[in-house]
Amino acid sequence: MFLTVLGRHGPYPRPGGACSGYFIEDGPTRVLVDCGSGVLSRLMEHVHPAHLDAIVLSHLHFDHCSDLLVMRYALDQQDVREGEEKRRVPLYTPAEPFETLKTITTGALFFQHTVKGGDELQIGNLHFSFVPMAHPVPTNGMRITGADGATLFFTGDTKPYPGMEVGAMGADALLADSCFVDEAQTGPHLNAKEACALARNAGVKTLYLTHLWGKYDTEEAMKKEIDFSPAFVVKERGKYCI
Ligand SMILES: [Zn+2]
Ligand SMILES: [Zn+2]
Protein backbone atom coordinates (compact mmCIF):
# COMPACT_ATOMS: atom_id res chain seq x y z
CA MET A 1 0.00 0.00 0.00
CA PHE A 2 1.29 3.47 -0.88
CA LEU A 3 0.29 6.73 0.77
CA THR A 4 0.88 9.94 -1.19
CA VAL A 5 0.32 13.17 0.70
CA LEU A 6 -1.57 15.64 -1.50
CA GLY A 7 -2.11 18.16 1.28
CA ARG A 8 -0.94 18.33 4.88
CA HIS A 9 -2.40 21.53 6.31
CA GLY A 10 -5.48 22.55 8.24
CA PRO A 11 -7.71 24.42 8.65
CA TYR A 12 -6.18 26.43 5.81
CA PRO A 13 -2.97 25.96 3.84
CA ARG A 14 0.42 27.57 4.10
CA PRO A 15 1.54 29.50 0.98
CA GLY A 16 1.95 26.95 -1.79
CA GLY A 17 0.42 24.21 0.35
CA ALA A 18 -2.84 22.33 0.42
CA CYS A 19 -5.26 21.04 3.05
CA SER A 20 -5.96 17.44 4.00
CA GLY A 21 -5.77 14.98 1.10
CA TYR A 22 -4.24 11.49 0.86
CA PHE A 23 -4.00 9.33 -2.23
CA ILE A 24 -3.93 5.64 -1.28
CA GLU A 25 -2.88 3.01 -3.82
CA ASP A 26 -2.73 -0.76 -3.52
CA GLY A 27 -2.19 -2.58 -6.80
CA PRO A 28 -4.88 -1.31 -9.18
CA THR A 29 -6.97 0.20 -6.35
CA ARG A 30 -6.92 3.97 -6.05
CA VAL A 31 -8.76 5.83 -3.28
CA LEU A 32 -8.71 9.47 -2.26
CA VAL A 33 -9.05 10.09 1.48
CA ASP A 34 -10.17 13.66 2.20
CA CYS A 35 -10.25 16.43 -0.40
CA GLY A 36 -9.44 19.82 1.10
CA SER A 37 -8.38 23.03 -0.57
CA GLY A 38 -5.70 22.49 -3.23
CA VAL A 39 -6.01 18.71 -3.35
CA LEU A 40 -7.71 18.33 -6.75
CA SER A 41 -4.85 19.74 -8.83
CA ARG A 42 -2.35 17.55 -7.00
CA LEU A 43 -4.57 14.49 -7.38
CA MET A 44 -4.69 15.08 -11.13
CA GLU A 45 -0.90 14.70 -11.25
CA HIS A 46 -1.69 11.02 -10.53
CA VAL A 47 -5.18 10.26 -11.78
CA HIS A 48 -8.32 11.97 -13.09
CA PRO A 49 -10.95 11.80 -10.32
CA ALA A 50 -13.32 9.90 -12.62
CA HIS A 51 -10.91 6.96 -12.41
CA LEU A 52 -10.79 6.76 -8.63
CA ASP A 53 -12.31 3.66 -7.09
CA ALA A 54 -13.74 5.80 -4.29
CA ILE A 55 -13.42 8.95 -2.25
CA VAL A 56 -13.63 8.63 1.53
CA LEU A 57 -14.01 11.72 3.72
CA SER A 58 -13.14 11.65 7.41
CA HIS A 59 -15.56 14.52 8.04
CA LEU A 60 -17.26 17.47 6.45
CA HIS A 61 -15.18 20.40 7.62
CA PHE A 62 -14.18 22.43 4.58
CA ASP A 63 -10.44 21.77 4.92
CA HIS A 64 -11.31 18.12 4.26
CA CYS A 65 -13.97 18.46 1.56
CA SER A 66 -13.93 21.85 -0.19
CA ASP A 67 -12.25 20.73 -3.43
CA LEU A 68 -15.14 18.34 -4.07
CA LEU A 69 -17.09 21.45 -5.06
CA VAL A 70 -14.66 21.97 -7.96
CA MET A 71 -14.24 18.26 -8.62
CA ARG A 72 -17.92 18.25 -9.62
CA TYR A 73 -16.95 20.24 -12.74
CA ALA A 74 -14.10 17.85 -13.58
CA LEU A 75 -16.46 14.88 -13.30
CA ASP A 76 -19.15 16.60 -15.31
CA GLN A 77 -16.72 17.57 -18.10
CA GLN A 78 -14.86 14.24 -18.30
CA ASP A 79 -14.20 12.89 -21.80
CA VAL A 80 -16.29 9.85 -22.73
CA ARG A 81 -16.51 7.88 -25.94
CA GLU A 82 -19.75 7.89 -27.90
CA GLY A 83 -22.26 5.59 -26.25
CA GLU A 84 -20.39 5.56 -22.92
CA GLU A 85 -21.76 7.15 -19.80
CA LYS A 86 -19.82 9.50 -17.57
CA ARG A 87 -18.23 7.72 -14.63
CA ARG A 88 -19.73 8.36 -11.22
CA VAL A 89 -17.42 8.02 -8.23
CA PRO A 90 -18.47 6.32 -4.96
CA LEU A 91 -18.24 8.84 -2.12
CA TYR A 92 -18.29 7.80 1.54
CA THR A 93 -18.91 10.48 4.19
CA PRO A 94 -20.45 11.02 7.61
CA ALA A 95 -24.13 12.00 7.49
CA GLU A 96 -23.69 15.48 8.95
CA PRO A 97 -23.57 18.46 8.66
CA PHE A 98 -26.40 17.82 6.20
CA GLU A 99 -26.25 21.25 4.53
CA THR A 100 -22.57 20.74 3.64
CA LEU A 101 -23.26 17.27 2.32
CA LYS A 102 -26.15 18.56 0.23
CA THR A 103 -24.00 21.34 -1.25
CA ILE A 104 -21.22 18.94 -2.21
CA THR A 105 -23.40 16.28 -3.75
CA THR A 106 -26.24 18.18 -5.41
CA GLY A 107 -26.07 17.56 -9.16
CA ALA A 108 -22.69 15.89 -8.79
CA LEU A 109 -21.49 12.66 -10.32
CA PHE A 110 -21.03 10.88 -7.02
CA PHE A 111 -22.64 7.73 -5.63
CA GLN A 112 -22.96 9.07 -2.09
CA HIS A 113 -22.97 6.68 0.85
CA THR A 114 -23.06 7.49 4.55
CA VAL A 115 -20.63 5.73 6.89
CA LYS A 116 -20.20 5.87 10.65
CA GLY A 117 -18.06 4.39 13.37
CA GLY A 118 -18.30 0.58 13.36
CA ASP A 119 -18.93 0.35 9.61
CA GLU A 120 -16.66 -1.75 7.39
CA LEU A 121 -16.05 -1.35 3.71
CA GLN A 122 -14.07 -3.18 1.04
CA ILE A 123 -12.89 -1.03 -1.86
CA GLY A 124 -10.86 -3.15 -4.28
CA ASN A 125 -7.71 -4.24 -2.43
CA LEU A 126 -8.37 -1.93 0.51
CA HIS A 127 -10.43 -2.71 3.60
CA PHE A 128 -11.73 0.21 5.67
CA SER A 129 -12.89 -0.01 9.31
CA PHE A 130 -14.36 3.22 10.63
CA VAL A 131 -13.91 4.50 14.18
CA PRO A 132 -15.78 7.46 15.73
CA MET A 133 -13.43 10.27 16.77
CA ALA A 134 -13.93 13.30 19.07
CA HIS A 135 -14.43 16.44 16.98
CA PRO A 136 -17.15 19.13 16.76
CA VAL A 137 -18.81 17.35 13.79
CA PRO A 138 -19.16 13.57 13.22
CA THR A 139 -15.70 12.34 12.23
CA ASN A 140 -14.53 8.90 11.20
CA GLY A 141 -11.06 7.70 11.93
CA MET A 142 -10.26 4.84 9.59
CA ARG A 143 -8.15 1.73 9.72
CA ILE A 144 -7.11 0.87 6.18
CA THR A 145 -5.77 -2.62 5.47
CA GLY A 146 -4.08 -3.48 2.20
CA ALA A 147 -4.09 -6.77 0.31
CA ASP A 148 -0.84 -7.88 1.98
CA GLY A 149 -2.18 -7.10 5.48
CA ALA A 150 -0.33 -3.78 5.95
CA THR A 151 -2.38 -1.37 8.06
CA LEU A 152 -2.66 2.41 8.17
CA PHE A 153 -4.76 4.21 10.78
CA PHE A 154 -5.82 7.76 9.90
CA THR A 155 -7.25 9.81 12.76
CA GLY A 156 -9.03 12.45 10.69
CA ASP A 157 -9.38 15.38 13.08
CA THR A 158 -9.80 14.61 16.75
CA LYS A 159 -9.00 15.67 20.27
CA PRO A 160 -7.75 12.99 22.67
CA TYR A 161 -10.36 10.74 24.25
CA PRO A 162 -10.17 7.66 26.48
CA GLY A 163 -9.67 4.51 24.44
CA MET A 164 -8.75 6.28 21.22
CA GLU A 165 -5.79 3.95 20.79
CA VAL A 166 -8.05 0.93 20.24
CA GLY A 167 -8.69 1.56 16.54
CA ALA A 168 -5.01 2.16 15.82
CA MET A 169 -3.74 -0.81 17.85
CA GLY A 170 -0.73 -2.48 16.25
CA ALA A 171 -1.02 -0.58 12.97
CA ASP A 172 2.02 -0.39 10.72
CA ALA A 173 1.48 3.33 10.29
CA LEU A 174 -0.42 6.01 12.19
CA LEU A 175 -1.30 9.14 10.20
CA ALA A 176 -2.23 11.55 12.97
CA ASP A 177 -3.83 14.96 13.19
CA SER A 178 -1.09 17.09 14.78
CA CYS A 179 -2.56 20.53 14.33
CA PHE A 180 -1.11 21.95 17.49
CA VAL A 181 2.54 22.09 18.37
CA ASP A 182 2.82 21.80 22.12
CA GLU A 183 0.94 20.87 25.25
CA ALA A 184 -0.12 24.47 25.91
CA GLN A 185 -2.43 24.27 22.90
CA THR A 186 -5.63 22.31 23.35
CA GLY A 187 -8.83 22.13 21.35
CA PRO A 188 -10.53 19.87 18.85
CA HIS A 189 -7.17 18.53 17.58
CA LEU A 190 -4.16 16.59 18.81
CA ASN A 191 -0.87 18.30 19.47
CA ALA A 192 2.39 16.63 18.53
CA LYS A 193 2.92 15.17 22.01
CA GLU A 194 -0.60 13.73 22.07
CA ALA A 195 -0.03 12.17 18.65
CA CYS A 196 3.15 10.59 20.00
CA ALA A 197 1.29 9.30 23.07
CA LEU A 198 -1.34 7.77 20.80
CA ALA A 199 1.39 6.08 18.75
CA ARG A 200 2.96 4.65 21.91
CA ASN A 201 -0.32 3.49 23.46
CA ALA A 202 -1.41 1.85 20.22
CA GLY A 203 1.96 0.18 19.65
CA VAL A 204 2.17 1.36 16.03
CA LYS A 205 5.35 0.87 14.05
CA THR A 206 5.67 4.34 12.51
CA LEU A 207 4.04 7.71 13.21
CA TYR A 208 3.30 10.21 10.45
CA LEU A 209 2.31 13.68 11.67
CA THR A 210 0.01 15.71 9.45
CA HIS A 211 -2.73 18.40 9.44
CA LEU A 212 -0.15 21.05 10.25
CA TRP A 213 -1.59 24.33 11.42
CA GLY A 214 -1.63 26.87 8.57
CA LYS A 215 -1.19 29.83 10.89
CA TYR A 216 2.52 29.41 11.52
CA ASP A 217 5.38 27.44 10.08
CA THR A 218 4.93 24.77 12.70
CA GLU A 219 7.08 22.01 11.27
CA GLU A 220 10.36 22.92 12.99
CA ALA A 221 8.66 23.76 16.29
CA MET A 222 6.74 20.50 16.18
CA LYS A 223 9.88 18.42 15.75
CA LYS A 224 11.06 19.50 19.22
CA GLU A 225 7.90 18.00 20.74
CA ILE A 226 8.19 14.59 19.12
CA ASP A 227 9.06 11.84 21.58
CA PHE A 228 8.22 8.78 19.54
CA SER A 229 10.49 7.00 17.08
CA PRO A 230 10.26 6.57 14.19
CA ALA A 231 8.10 9.64 13.55
CA PHE A 232 7.99 11.84 10.49
CA VAL A 233 6.27 15.11 9.71
CA VAL A 234 4.79 14.24 6.32
CA LYS A 235 6.16 16.05 3.28
CA GLU A 236 4.12 17.84 0.64
CA ARG A 237 3.64 15.24 -2.11
CA GLY A 238 5.59 12.74 0.03
CA LYS A 239 5.04 9.12 -1.03
CA TYR A 240 5.29 6.47 1.68
CA CYS A 241 5.24 2.69 1.41
CA ILE A 242 3.12 1.27 4.22
ZN1 LIG B 1 -9.14 19.79 9.65
ZN1 LIG C 1 -12.11 19.25 11.38
| Domain coverage including residue 224 | 2-77+87-241
Confirm whether 82 is domain-assigned: no
How far does CA 130 lie from the centroid of its chain? 12
> Each residue of 57-75: pLDDT tens digit?
999 999 999 999 999 999 9
Q: pTM of the full predicted structure?
A: 0.96
Q: What is the dihedral of CA 213, 219, 224, 228, to 10 degrees?
A: 80
| Burial class of residue 195 in the structure, from the number of CB atoms within 10 Å of its CB (0-12 exposed, 13-18 middle, 19+ buried) | buried
Confirm whether 116 is domain-assigned: yes
User: How many domains does the chain divide into?
Assistant: 1
Local confidence band at 183 (pLDDT 50, 70, 90 cut-offs): low
Q: How far is the CA of 70 from the centre of ligand 2 (A)?
A: 20
Confirm whether 129 is domain-assigned: yes
Q: How far is the CA of 115 from the centre of ligand 1 (A)?
A: 18
Residues with CB under 5 A from ligand 1 (ion): 10, 63, 157
Which CATH number does the domain housing residue 179 bear? 3.60.15.10
Answer yes or no: are the C-beta atoms of 155 and 142 closer than 8 Å.
no
Confirm whether 100 is domain-assigned: yes
Local confidence band at 107 (pLDDT 50, 70, 90 cut-offs): confident
Q: How far is the CA of 192 from the centre of ligand 2 (A)?
A: 16
Q: How far is the CA of 141 from the centre of ligand 2 (A)?
A: 12
Confirm whether 177 is domain-assigned: yes
